[in-house]
Amino acid sequence: MFPDFANPAEWLPWAFASLMGFSILVYVILDGFDLGVGILFPFAEDAEKDRMIGSIGPFWDANETWLVLAVGLLLVAFPTAHGMILTALYLPVFIMLIGLILRGVAFEFRAKAHAKHKKLWNNLFFIGSTMTALSQGFMLGLYIMGLEQTWATYAFAALTALFLTVGYSFIGATWLIHKTEGGLQLKSVQWAREALWGVILGIGAVSLATPLVSARIFDRWLQFPEALWLAPIPIISGLLVLWLWRMVRQMPYPGDVRSWLPFAVATGLFALAYIGLAYSFYPYVVPERLTIYEAAAAPESLFIILVGACFVVPVIAGYSVLAYTIFRGKATELRYD
């Protein structure tokens, strides 16, 4: 599981795989909630939409930067894998990029363009967010299937696309429970209640599919005694699902206490599911084809990035916390003054 820390050709790729894994996880949670808010857009009234935008407006830019960092780390630390993965995922990447472009600019245009065009930009914000989520889920499915391109893998990828989209809308709804009040909050609880089904089915489907696709992953999870060490991951995940289930049936609590809790628990659940997936594939960066050690760039180059990252990442974390603190509390309409 852990590399030889005396040998830079081993621990550097490992450190970069961890850093990249961490960025992807942060991205999935942070952009997950703001994509989710976009996916929920058509279910809200026009007046509520401004409030929903207000809940993510100050953050979405920084959230998306984690994707740039993740793909950047893949690019710089594992250049061969970067080329293999992205050429295999050529079309879904294209769809994701168009989606990201549409939603990113719709954010600005809906507030600044003529009022008669606002509806158009609202629709594009929804379409862009949904395209992004669907294509990311599709890529996840193909990746799990070892980047094989057959009708069966496409079918599975279509399923993960749907589940990830519902999953994003779930974490988006939990974010809105925390950031809104009144009628919109009640709606958000309702959305969370409905979307939780998708989360359960999605995690279930991926958990069943991964060991079936690869004998290696099957052995890794179901062999004694390793299975004992790993048992907490599915067990805790199950408990978190039950907890969420209870909460979204009782919320909002009187006095709006603990409105942050569903988002926090959902974050925990996403993190566990992600760690399970990462464990299945380690040490491969391209499933069953290329390990992180084979794909890694020169140790000297990795070292020079790591030195910078050690200084800069804590600073980034610091000012991200500052931004979330400044814009804490219930969302208001966004104003420039």
Partner 1 sequence: MEALDTLILSRIQFAANISFHILFPTITIALGWVLFFFRVRFAQTADAKWMDAYRFWVKIFALSFAMGVVSGITMSFQFGTNWPGFMETVGNIAGPLLAYEVLTAFFLEAVFIGIMLFGFSRVPGWLHMLATFLVAFGTTVSAFWIIVLNSWMHTPQGFEMIDGVAFATDWWAIIFNPSMPYRFAHMWIASGLTVSFLIAGVSAFRWLLGDRSRDVRIALKTGVTLGALLIPVQIFLGDMHGLNTLEYQPQKVAAMEGIWETGPNQPLLLFAIPDEEARTNHFEIGIPSVASLILTHHFDGVVQGLNDFVAEDGTVMHPPVAMVFWSFRTMVGTGMAMLLLSWTAVFLMWKRRRMHADPSRRHWLAVEGLPKPVLWALVPMAFSGWVATLAGWYTTEIGRQPWLVQGVMTTEMAVADVPAPMVAGTLVGYLIAYGVLLFAYISVVVYLARKAARGDDGRANDMSHSGKAQVEILTPAE
Please say which residue, 82 or 220, places its beta carbon nearer to partner 1.
82
Identify whether the C-beta of residue 167 lies closer than 8 Å to the C-beta of residue 198: yes
Neighbouring residues of 309: CB distance < 8 A, sequence distance ≥ 6? 19
Binding to partner 1 by CB under 8 A, coded x per residue (else -) over 16-45, reads ------------------------------
Cα–Cα dist 126/121, whole Å: 9
Site for partner 1 in 79-98 (CB under 8 A): 79-80, 82-87, 89-91, 93-94, 97-98
Question: Phi and psi dihedrals of 283, rounded to 5?
Answer: -95, 20
Please say which residue, 88 or 196, places its beta carbon nearer to partner 1.
88
For the chain, what is the largest distance between any 2 Cα atoms, rounded to a whole number of angstroms?
A: 64
State the sign of the Cα–Cα–Cα–Cα dihedral 28, 29, 34, 38: positive
Site for partner 1 in 108-167 (CB under 8 A): 108-109, 112-114
Identify whether the C-beta of residue 180 lies closer than 8 Å to the C-beta of residue 55: yes
Please say which residue, 242 or 312, places its beta carbon nearer to partner 1.
312
Does 9 help bind partner 1 (rule: CB under 8 A)?
no
- How many angstroms from the chain centroid is the CA of residue 275? 12
Site for partner 1 in 48-77 (CB under 8 A): 57-59, 61-62, 64-65, 67-69, 71-77
**Span interacting with partner 1, options 183-191, 239-247, 270-278, 310-318, rule CB under 8 A:** 310-318
Does 326 help bind partner 1 (rule: CB under 8 A)?
yes
Total number of residues binding partner 1 (CB under 8 A)? 64
Identify whether the C-beta of residue 174 lies closer than 8 Å to the C-beta of residue 41: no
Supply 124's token pair: 């594009």
User: 136 by DSSP, 3-state: which?
Assistant: helix
Residue type present at position 184: L
Q: How far is the CB of 108 from partner 1 (least distance, A)?
A: 5
Q: How far is the CB of 196 from partner 1 (least distance, A)?
A: 30
- How many angstroms from the chain centroid is the CA of residue 161? 12
Cα–Cα dist 83/157, whole Å: 20
Does 245 help bind partner 1 (rule: CB under 8 A)?
no
**Span interacting with partner 1, options 161-169, 193-201, 266-274, 304-312, rule CB under 8 A:** 304-312
Identify whether the C-beta of residue 27 lies closer than 8 Å to the C-beta of residue 63: yes
Q: How far is the CB of 217 from partner 1 (least distance, A)?
A: 25
- Using CB under 8 A, which of 186, 205, 265, 334 touches partner 1? 334
- Using CB under 8 A, which of 158, 201, 290, 316 touches partner 1? 316
Cα–Cα dist 263/175, whole Å: 6
Cα–Cα dist 91/142, whole Å: 12
Q: How many CB atoms lie within 10 A of CB 275?
A: 14
Please say which residue, 91 or 236, places its beta carbon nearer to partner 1.
91
Chain positions contacting partner 1, by CB under 8 A: 57-59, 61-62, 64-65, 67-69, 71-77, 79-80, 82-87, 89-91, 93-94, 97-98, 100-102, 104-105, 107-109, 112-114, 297-298, 300-301, 304-305, 308-309, 312-313, 316, 319-320, 322-323, 326-327, 334-337
